[in-house]
Amino acid sequence: IWDESAGESLLQIQLLTALRTFVSSLGYQSPLSYHMLMPILQSGVNVDSPDALNLLEDSVLLWEATLSNAPSIVSQLMDLFPYLVGIVNRSFDHLEVGVNIVEDYTIFGGSEFLKSHGTSLANVLDTIVGNVNDKGLLTTLPVIDLLIQLFPQEAPPLISSALQVLTWLVTWSQVWNVQMILHHSDLFIHANL
């Protein structure tokens, strides 16, 4: 149905929504659908595809649902992560879902994810930190915190550029307050090391 609906964005959006419900219904058995799901997902999260403008939002939501229901991160899912760089570079419209996707990869992909996609992860965080408003930054801080907690040796050097921008923001911005610094103090300790 997907291939036959090429160019019919409204139909494809409905298919993406139905697939998201299907994946959520399958739960941890969702890998049974990967043979059908992965090509659709890869096409939908590719910002260079002709229908990206119309399908990206629903594709990113399907990606998040797929990760949330995956019993583990398999290679097909791992291979999707670099697409997040293009999505974040394009706009911050999907920031909250994008941060959830990073969190899922961080938790379930573990050190393999960090080794395979550390550069892409650093690019995503570098693009976000310093370029989003305060709300966007507050959305992103927990995943930076999670990275540092799970990978205290590997993460700080990998995301040092984002940590330096955070330090600058805290030091020079009038918007930040003491409560924010205290709540995320471990981030700023690593940023200054």
The answer to whether residue 158 scores a pLDDT higher than 70 is yes
Cβ atoms within 10 Å of 42's Cβ, excluding its own: 16
Q: How confident is the model at residue 185 (pLDDT cuts 50, 70, 90)?
A: low
Cβ atoms within 10 Å of 4's Cβ, excluding its own: 8
pTM: 0.85
Decide if 178 is inside a domain: no
Task: Find the mean pLDDT for residues 109-133.
Answer: 94
**Number of structural domains found in the chain:** 2
Cβ atoms within 10 Å of 173's Cβ, excluding its own: 10
Decide if 48 is inside a domain: yes
Task: Answer yes or no: do 155 and 93 share one domain.
Answer: yes
Task: Answer yes or no: do 15 and 58 share one domain.
Answer: yes
Task: Answer yes or no: do 31 and 103 share one domain.
Answer: no
Decide if 175 is inside a domain: no
Decide if 192 is inside a domain: no
Decide if 3 is inside a domain: yes
Task: Answer yes or no: do 64 and 83 share one domain.
Answer: no
Q: What tens digit of pLDDT does each residue of 57-84 get? A: 999 999 999 999 999 999 999 999 999 9
Q: Which of 71, 93, 115 is the last residue of a domain?
A: 71
Could you tell me which residue, 169 or 159, shows the higher pLDDT? 159
Q: What tens digit of pLDDT does each residue of 131-146 get? A: 998 889 989 999 999 9
| Domain span at 22 | 1-71
Task: Answer yes or no: do 17 and 66 share one domain.
Answer: yes
